[in-house]
Amino acid sequence: MANKKINKKDIAKLLTKWSQGFTVFVPSKESGVAIMSKWDGKDTSFLDWYRNTVEPAKANFFPSMEEMFSFQKDKEGYHLELPPSDKQKQLIFGIRPCDAKALAILDMTFKDTYEDPYYLSKRNNTVLIGLSCTNPYDSCFCTSLGISPVESKDVDLMLTDIGDEFLIEVVTDKGKELIATASGVEEASGADEARAKEAKETSFNKVTRKIDSDGIKEKLLPAFENQDYWEKVTAKCISCGICTFLCPTCYCFDINDELVKNQGTRFRNWDSCAFPIYTKMPMENPREEKWRRVRQKVCHKYEFYPMLFDIIACTGCGRCIRLCPVNWDITQTLNSVPAKTTA
Ligand code: SF4
Ligand code: SF4
């Protein structure tokens, strides 16, 4: 399908149209923090300030706290009740290519390995409208991982800022349907395509932080037991867990029951391998020392996930760098993996 375009002034009309069939999420500020939240039906000022959200879009599919079921106990035993299945269609407008890729990576765990009904009920009812990234952060390094800040195959429609307008690329059949009935959408001209190409090249070149991801799995393997290296690169971490909670590809969770007499609710909540009690067991804790926990976080993304799925479970979104309270930097850790272990 030929590319389209829309004037930025018509984005509110487009979102209004889509609101008839979907709950529309857009970048918004809550207490000054950028998150994806329900569109209020009028505000499109995010087009001016939005760079990326603090909380990744994974929260729309795998919330920080989620009810799994409620239960009651009587003399006949336990009775379970599932929460209503989440069939509400959602549309996420403005997701960045790195965060859309992160959802494709999460699918490998929540869809391909094990069918997680809570995640899939939302994932299967969602359309993604990507927005190319024109102002990446200094902490971003997506291009080192084969991810473009301006292109995506993991969204339904991809928009690129070309001045007063957005160029619209149709990526999937769902995207084609969405655009077919939208008003204010026109055919893109050759000049529009040329403007988009130039804008994309400029944005791509703004991602200057780099890691050498070629052969990183093979480099990490012999360094796994190199305690000196891991202690050195993890010295300043305070085990707060922020980097894992806000990482778009981290998916660890804990399960808790809230009980009142004979009834209760079971929830799952985000958990973090950075926490000292994460692997605590009655007899021992295999990751009591901090260096073992940070090693787990890094190796899970750059060694274990590639072994399982042939893909690095990091998108270079840079959140773990810019949001870490002590400036721990995964790129420094990866760029200093020793060639050979000294252990
Ligand atoms: S955000 Fe920083 S300090 Fe907190 S656990 Fe991650 S690396 Fe450690
Ligand atoms: S490890 Fe850091 S850079 Fe990589 S996806 Fe997670 S938060 Fe983003």
Residue type, 94: G
Using the predicted structure, report yes or no on whether residue 343 has a pLDDT greater than 60.
no
Instruction: Tell me which of 230, 233, 239, 247 to substitute to probe ligand 1's pocket, judged by most ligand atoms within 8 Å of the beta carbon.
Output: 239
Tell me, using a 6 A CB cutoff, whether residue 270 lines ligand 1. Answer: no
Using the predicted structure, report yes or no on whether residue 209 has a pLDDT greater than 70.
yes
**12 C-alpha vs ligand 1 centroid, how far in Å?**
38
pLDDT at 341: 46
Q: What pairs with residue 130 in β-bridges?
A: 95, 158
pLDDT at 259: 92
CA distance 303 to 269: 25
Confidence of residue 87 (pLDDT cuts 50, 70, 90): confident
Residue type, 111: K
At residue 174, φ and ψ (nearest 5 deg) are -60, -40
**292 C-alpha vs ligand 1 centroid, how far in Å?**
13
Tell me, using a 6 A CB cutoff, whether residue 97 lines ligand 1. Answer: no
The bound ligand whose nearest atom lies closest to the alpha carbon of 276 is 1
pLDDT at 340: 67
What is the atom index within ligand 2 of the atom nearest the CA of 318?
3
pLDDT tens, position by position, 264-321: 999 999 999 999 988 888 888 889 899 999 999 999 999 999 999 999 999 999 999 9
CA distance 340 to 342: 6
Taking CB atoms and a 6 Å cutoff, what residues make up the pocket around ligand 2? 247-249, 301, 314-320, 330
Tell me, using a 6 A CB cutoff, whether residue 33 lines ligand 1. Answer: no
Confirm if 292 and 239 have CB atoms less than 8 A apart: no
**What is the arithmetic mean of pLDDT over 121-141?**
97
For atom 4 of ligand 1, the residue with the nearest CA is 240
Q: What's the chain's average pLDDT?
A: 95
**317 C-alpha vs ligand 2 centroid, how far in Å?**
5
pLDDT tens, position by position, 192-201: 999 999 999 9
Using the predicted structure, report yes or no on whether residue 342 has a pLDDT greater than 60.
no
Tell me, using a 6 A CB cutoff, whether residue 227 lines ligand 1. Answer: no
